[in-house]
Structure 1
């Protein structure tokens, strides 16, 4: 934190009121250093890691300059993904909650464009969007560049890595020369520098040094768990440690719903947060969790953004995150204010490679642990029960139930029998029925399973040549493919200089498919195999029928060997 206060930044009273209600005490380093020059009208290069508060660093001055009396777009924010668009737009609404008449609209692919067109025609002061969809609106003239006074590139390096360079240049090139541009990026590389040189106006650099990624007071571990065993293992770990408050992170809204329902069915006090839940209900759920009204909060990264609770004892990565930065943000919810915390991750199959990327990114080892058995869980419950009864006996409690004991003694029951029966009733009342899982079997070996899957994915056998293209590096056998995915064949590979990022960028930019619909990419010398969600595979092939990759024509279609 910094020595200055938000009140020192000359922000509007409405913004200061919103900041106060959100509980922010002082600006983060990136906010303290970036906001003043932005409000002076200067272009900015903000180099800062995700999670440093950079969204508020550009949102607050953007809101400062907005004139809500004008019925047209004044600020344009470019973000790489649908999820980030939603996050940034939610931050705009949170920080601008006290500004009367403020309108901010997120626009991204994968959703009907007609509704977005209506919202833009009604007048939006701030537009947050992905480059591809924004370019669509620019061409349809529903995005009018002449009125944009401030353009913000959020995570510029990531957008360039995803292949959005041309879209970004087209959008920035359409704006008037006198607009202000803010470039925010986690890294400065030659591609980012080239973009800044082309579109920046003598920008001032604000750089925040990377801080320690993870807290030493957080004990990190992982368990190899199949999807169908996750709920059982999760409940065993909760019963073993009995955290007062815990957050369970899932990658999708569906996973959040399924996990929450399973926990509730087993008698746990749990609630959920995800993007389909209204902001009012999210705030209510967060408040109840902070007050300890329930012990387990199941959430997506988007919904849990900005969640600031000091007393979280444990974080569970029910689904391992795609991005190592998301892992750091998740586990940072525990181990706060010098307290000890615990971060547990569930991995299986190819998840182990994501875990290795996380270890490399954080420069910390994550300890593998053995799944506790049902007997171990039952033993821990018994210990907790004993401690609970012992603690009650040591207190000065009412003896109003003594007459029940006397009646039982008069009927010939011994004190030992009475106590044993009461213990049994109490154990049944607080205990939960577990279930046997494959991981409990003595002969279960996840390493053996993983090796078998890897062999199936890579395939074995002779080389093949077909479809008039050399497929000599393709092997027979089934690839490890997730459900609902189709494998597409693309007739260009390493020999043409193609990289996975080129394919990914082209699919999202020119193929016009929603975010998170591309799966595994296998790149060979003269072709590539790409898994795409089956609902979008046909449309993708049609959209790319006249496209070029690395200035070369190519064929794309269903993989006949899949």
Structure 2
């Protein structure tokens, strides 16, 4: 008997689960599904985004509904069009072997007449945004007077978006004896009021602590000058070549501005905010899911409903006004059992907010410095080497190779590598040398210095990374197991594609190097070396006079076509001289 069979699900649902490749239910599914199948009860379930909540309420609803009746029996309210469509798609996958069951999505930005026709043809389950649902009720296009099950998904998000009155109005058209299942990541007072007003002695399920952040997310903050947010963002992007992220801004204007600057500087970026048309939003989200966009800049409202499992970083370009919103933002990464990193850019005046967030999510932040030029240069060089190693040889280049071989005749392997590295290295080393030492340029106040990067710390390079199946959590465990060091003795674990970095106190340097002398992983020799851009060699990238990098011109990942955006020919040539195509 499989784990899902033990939950009491019928054969058609188990067949769909097998097709979907689900093997083990998540904690919220394990708690909610048997309860909702066995008992006629209302439910309040608190669980983070990405923990499998749709299946937790979707499977019980599908199993309880009569597919032979065309009457609408289930209603699911969700905050955004994107989430509404995602839930609808998932329910269709779950019910693929349940003959006669139809699920219809109701949302703004699409033809209300077509949606009404779909409902009239027979829809046992409606998945709706509150605004469009209220509109269709007012026009007499839907009848929810006989529903048996109502789900409020992402309830705190709906209330944050101002849907409280709409939800009350919608629920007033539903039967008193229906079952109401409320799912939320946090439990603010408004959600508690909804539960008290419209639910009867609900059962409660909590996955993790109330309002807590996911344990798979590492939280970091970076102190910056008030005018240095964008240059800091660029450096964080350059220090993470494989970044796939959501960047949060407070306003639509800032969102568009940051996205445009990133695009101008050659990053694969896009904007998502309320001023975009529905078609524009669809195009952006499609490109993001296909990873054609690596840095999605979004407002909190527009980002609600983003359900992408592989997001590596969430970057808080600006902290939200409501501290509880941080939980939702950071929940976009570290999903489906994977790890993620949440980075916060703050000024000195915002420092107290970090402590407030720590209390709410029950986790500690790590203070980090913005990467300096030498650290970025080192990471990008390793990234270049990795790209060269894994690039497939194009047959079309063969006719040109004999002449190339003649030009390079007499160079041995090591000289060729040195020259190749030097050609690329000079392009960005000179750029960052002029940019100055970042953290020194911000302030002479010692509070801007990351204690984990001060004197007596050692930074290491290790030749395994994400391609070897490691994220920051599993790599830290691997290092600790090999060295027998304590949890806090290994820090700043930063995995890249085929390599990684980590730090220890200097007193552990000999232990670390000795522990990895004869270490292998999956038959491959694991090599650990002291990194050349560690704390003792920081001055190499500062290049003399202190100054803040403000212009925001691309340091590395500027595609050739980006240069066409610069009208001044002299400026184009200046940019071309420092382009590094990763």
Alignment correspondent of 1:215:
215
Aligned to 2:343: 344
Aligned residues of 1:315 and 1:333 also touching (Cα < 8 A):
no
Whole-Å separation in 1 of the counterparts to 2:118 and 2:94: 21
Q: Give yes or no for the alignment of 1:107 onto 2:110.
A: no
TM-score, normalised by the number of residues in structure 2: 0.53
CA deviation map 1:41-60 (0-9, x unaligned): 61222232333433322122
The answer (yes or no) to whether the contact 1:93–1:104 under 8 Å persists in 2 is no
* Paired position in structure 1 for 2:235: 236
The CA distance in 1 between the partners of 2:256 and 2:189, in whole Å, is 43
Residue aligning to 2:53: 54
Q: Is the 8 A contact 1:267 1:432 kept in 2?
A: no
Determine whether 1:8 maps to 2:10: no
Question: Cα gap change, 1:64/1:23 in structure 2, threshold over 3 Å: closer, same or farther?
Answer: same
Within the alignment, does 1:329 sit opposite 2:328 as a pair? no
For the structure 1 residues 165 and 329, does the alpha-carbon distance in structure 2 shift closer, same or farther, using more than 3 Å as the test? closer
- In the aligned structure 1, how far is the partner of 2:444 from the partner of 2:376? 25
Paired position in structure 2 for 1:544: none
Aligned with 1:28 (options 26, 32, 35): 26
Give, in whole Å, the separation in 2 of the partners of 1:87 and 1:351: 36
Pair 1:428–1:71, CA change in 2 (3 A): farther
Contact 1:47 1:207 in 2 (8 A): yes
Matches within 5 A, 1:14-93: 14-40=12-38, 42-51=40-49, 52-67=51-66, 70-79=69-78, 85=84, 88-93=87-92
Deviations 1:143-200 (A, max 9, x none): 2123422222335566667776665454334333553333445677887677656654
Going from structure 1 to structure 2, the CA distance change for 1:103 and 1:273 (only over 3 Å counts) comes to farther
Which position in structure 2 is the counterpart of 1:533?
none
Give the length in aligned residue pairs.
418
User: Which residue does the alignment assign to 1:139?
Assistant: 138
**Matched-pair contact (CA < 8 Å) for 1:89–1:106:** no
Helix, strand or coil: the match of 1:56? helix
Question: Mean Cα displacement is larger for which, 355-364 or 435-444?
Answer: 435-444
Q: Is the 8 A contact 1:15 1:60 kept in 2?
A: yes
**SS in structure 1 at match of 2:332:** helix
Higher relative contact order (CA 8 A, sep 6+): 2
How many angstroms apart in 1 are the aligned matches of 2:103 and 2:165?
A: 28
Q: 1:13 to 1:419 in 2, by over 3 A?
A: closer
2:360 corresponds in structure 1 to 361
CA contact 2:216–2:334 (8 Å) conserved in 1: no
Q: Deviations over 1:435-462 (max 9, x none)?
A: 9889969876799xxxxxxxxxxxxxxx
Residues 87 and 431 of structure 1: is their aligned pair in 2 closer, same or farther, counting only changes over 3 Å?
A: farther
Q: Distance in 2 between matches of 1:155 and 1:391?
A: 45
The TM-score with structure 1 as length reference comes to 0.55
Q: Do the aligned partners of residues 147 and 444 (structure 1) sit closer, same or farther apart at CA in structure 2, a change above 3 Å counting? A: same
- Trace 1:77-476 onto structure 2 (pairs within 5 A): 77-79=76-78, 85=84, 88-93=87-92, 95-96=94-95, 102-107=102-107, 117=116, 120-121=119-120, 123-131=122-130, 133-156=132-155, 167-185=166-184, 199-200=198-199, 203-210=202-209, 213-215=213-215, 218=218, 220-224=220-224, 230=230, 232-242=231-241, 244=242, 246-250=244-248, 296=294, 298=296, 301-302=303-304, 304-305=306-307, 307-309=308-310, 314-318=313-317, 320=319, 323-333=325-335, 342-347=341-346, 357-372=356-371, 375-376=373-374, 379-380=377-378, 384=382, 404-406=407-409, 422-427=420-425
Q: Displacement, 1:120?
A: 4.2
Q: What is the Cα deviation at residue 273 of structure 1?
A: 9.7
Q: Can you give the 5+ residue segments of structure 1 that lack an aligned partner in the other structure?
A: 393-399, 410-414, 448-562
Displacement of 1:209 after TM fit? 4.8
User: Do the aligned partners of 1:34 and 1:44 also contact (CA within 8 Å) in 2?
Assistant: no
Is the 2:16–2:97 contact (alpha carbons within 8 Å) kept by the matching residues of 1? yes
Residue 330 of structure 1 aligns to a residue whose secondary structure is: coil
Q: Is the deviation greater in 5-14 or in 160-169?
A: 160-169
In structure 2, the gaps of 5 or more residues are: 391-401, 446-582
In 2, are the aligned partners of 1:273 and 1:297 still within 8 Å (CA)?
Answer: no
